[in-house]
Each structure stands twice: as structure tokens, then as C-alpha cells.
Amino acid sequence: MSFLTVCLNPTLQKTLSFPSIISGTVNRTSEHCLNVSGKGVNVTRVLTQLGKKAVHLTQLGGSLRPLFLSLCEQDDLSVEWVESNSQIRFCYTMLTANDNNVTELVEESEQVGIETEKLIIEKFNALITGSHSINDCRLLSNNCKPATCSLLPVTCLIISGTKAEGFSDKVFPEMVKKAKEKGLRVLLDIRGNDLSECLKYEPDIIKPNLFEFVSTFAPELIKDNDFSADHTLIEKKIKPITLDIIQKYKCRIILTNGSKKLFAAEEDRFFTIEIDPVKTVNSIGCGDAFTAGLAAGLETMAFRAAINEGIRCGGLNAGLVKPGVIR
């Protein structure tokens, strides 16, 4: 199987480790690292570490693009991109060992250029039909020649995360529609209107986290950017919603919730799976590692076993400083 991952919000992720942080003062550390990130990059990196063929599609622009691509090369990632005429954003993770806390500071993306969506759709169409010349021939073999290279047939599309300003609400649904017409398996880790508009094209699996799902389909359970009810009531409220969605749109649903039990539904069944506790160093990218493990597992495993593979990968990511890795 060959995976195509899509994320339209690329990120340079700076991770800094401190014993503790004192607000209102200067906090210094020599423990820090810079990595390419964004949900789609994290999924691609874990798939690659699992030994899978994966290519990532995104938009890139600005003076930081050479740095982004250099870091991708260091991680042995295959990336296809189009010009966005916008700078790549930074996000910052602060790890504090004394209280085992993970704090994330997120920059909103710049608006992409007016032609970016058209270029992305053209590149996407070329990738799922194989009529392209990829940038990184290592995706195939050491003997691959750039002039004749073509991607191994894509069999699974994974769309993750938010999209930068400047993309229309049509871009993800159009990708899902075309992927399903080509017979690809489609896995979505998106939320809000992006997710709602994609459902009519019957993606195979939707995997937002619990908060994203509730804020999309039961917003009355959210207040001040947090759940307004306990998890027992939330489970009771979302069960009929998930069952209605899977019957109407012929998909399966997985709702992760950090280290707490996850919810899942397929056919006419709603079930939960408990998560064994693991020592967490950095929780950033755990959901993306789960997505990659799930997608890889579905090649050979039944649904529940593939979920367990996702849990395994998420747990491995949690124990490492670098986001979106399993080793």
C-alpha cells in the first residue's frame, strides 16, 4: 500500500525543555530542538518509520521553505509541494519536567496566494493518478530515475489538520470525492465544516479527537473551550450521533481522547477501548502517531486490532521529546 497524506498548514515546531517555568521572568534552556511538523508531516514521519511508502502533499512559501525541506530530508520524508507565497508558521512546545506539563503555543498561518488551491488540486490529481514526477525518488528505490519516476499506486488518502487561510471550504471535499472515485481508502483527521462537508462522499474512517467531534456535532456540550459535561454524559450524548453518522455515510468512527478511553463505532456497534497509562514526555503528535499506526494496521488487521496498533504508536510517541515519531 502507498499512502498519500495531505495537510495544508505546514509547521516548524520548536520544542524547549525546562525543569520549570517561572512566569514573568527570563527562562533559559540548552535543551531544545527544531523539527518539521503539522499533523500531516507527523503522520508521514510515523508511517515512514513503520516502513511504509508515504508521500506528503502541502503548500510551502517564504524564506523558511529551504529549511523546511532540509529538515524533511533529514527525516527521510518524501514531500510534494506547491508555491503558497506565504511564510511557514512556527509553533512552540514547552516541556516542564517538574510538573510533567506540556504547553503548546500556536501561530496562526498566513493567507496563501490566490493560485495556491488550484495548484494543490492539480498536484493532488496527478498524485492519485500517478501522472507526475515526484521530487524525491527515494520513495521508490535506489534505482529510480527522476525523469521516469512515478509514485507507487496510491491506495490510501489521509487528510489531517486545519487548512491555512486562503483555501476554500471545497478543497478537502473535492479531494475526498476524487479519492473515493479512484477506489482509495480515505481516513480523515479533520473537524468542523471541513469534516461535515466531506461526509457526503463517504470516507472510510473519520478520526477527530473527542473534543473536535463534540464541538462539530454537539456544540452544546462545549463551553469556554472545554467540555461542559462529564464524560459519562458526553458518551451518552454522542453514541446516537456516531451511530447515525456511520449508518448514513457508511463510515467508521474513532474518537481519541488523549490518555483516556477512546470511543469507536462501526456498522451498528458503539464501543470503548481503555488506554493503558504510559509515561508521557511530550504529548504533541500522539494523535498523529495513532493515525499512522491505525492506517498501517488496516492493511492487514481487523478494525479493533488496527486501533490497538494506533494506540501502540501513540504511546511510543508520548515517551519521546520529538513530536510525531515512534523511535
Nine cell digits for residue 160: 489531517
Q: What span, in angstroms and rounded, lies between the C-alpha atoms of 25 and 247?
A: 54
The pLDDT value recorded for residue 284 is: 96
Q: Please report whether residue 197 resides in a domain.
A: yes
Which three cell numbers mark 199?
Answer: 461526509
Handedness of CA 69, 72, 76, 82 (dihedral sign): negative
Helices (H), 6-81: 39-49, 65-74
Given the C-alpha cell 508511517, which residue does it identify? 47
List beta partners, residue 156: 3, 185
Is pLDDT above 80 for 106?
yes
Q: What is the pLDDT of residue 151?
A: 56
Q: Helices 303-318 and 286-297 meet at what angle, rounded to 10?
A: 150
**What's the CA gap between 246 and 318, in Å, rounded?**
30
pLDDT digits (tens, 9 = 90+) for 116-146: 999 999 999 999 987 655 454 444 333 343 3
Strands 252-255 and 262-266: antiparallel
Within-domain flag for 325:
no
How many Cβ atoms sit within 10 Å of the Cβ of residue 299? 13
pLDDT value of position 231: 82
Confirm whether 174 is domain-assigned: yes
- Report yes or no on 237 lying in a domain: yes
Q: Mean pLDDT score of the chain, rounded to an integer?
A: 92
How many other C-beta atoms lie within 10 A of the C-beta of residue 260?
12
123-132 as b/e: b if 16+ CB within 10 A:
bbebbbeeeb
pLDDT tens digits, one per residue of 192-223? 999 999 999 999 999 999 999 999 999 999 98
Domain range for 11 is 2-20+32-318
Q: Determine the straight-line distance between the first and last CA of the chain, rounded to whole angstroms.
A: 22
In a domain, 27, yes or no: no
Residue 98, domain CATH: 3.40.1190.20
Q: Residue 168: is its pLDDT beyond 60? A: yes
**What is the predicted pLDDT for the residue at 1?**
62
Q: Which residue carries 512552540 as its cell?
A: 92
Q: What is the DSSP letter of 252?
A: E
pLDDT-derived band at 228 (thresholds 50, 70, 90) equals: confident
| pLDDT for the residue numbered 230 | 85
Other beta carbons within 10 Å of 295: 29
CA 97 to chain centre: 26
> Highest mean pLDDT: which of 54-63, 122-131, 150-159?
54-63
pLDDT of residue 229: 83
The C-alpha R_g of the chain, in whole angstroms, comes to: 19
CA distance 77 to 60: 15
Edge-to-edge strand order for the sheet containing 89-96?
32-37, 11-18, 89-96, 101-106
Instruction: Please state the domain count of the chain.
Output: 1
What whole-number percentage of the chain has pLDDT above 70? 93
In a domain, 327, yes or no: no
Please list the alpha-helical segments (H only) found in 100-252. Answer: 116-129, 171-181, 192-198, 210-217, 231-249
What's the pLDDT at 131?
A: 60
Q: What is the pLDDT of residue 126?
A: 95
The model carries a pTM of 0.92
Lowest mean pLDDT among 79-93, 128-142, 264-278, 297-311: 128-142
Give mean pLDDT, residues 225-252. 93
User: DSSP state, 259?
Assistant: B
Residue 188 has pLDDT above 70, yes or no: yes
pLDDT digits 0-9 by tens, 13-47: 999 999 999 999 999 999 999 999 999 999 999 99
Answer whether 207's CB lies under 8 Å from 218's CB. no
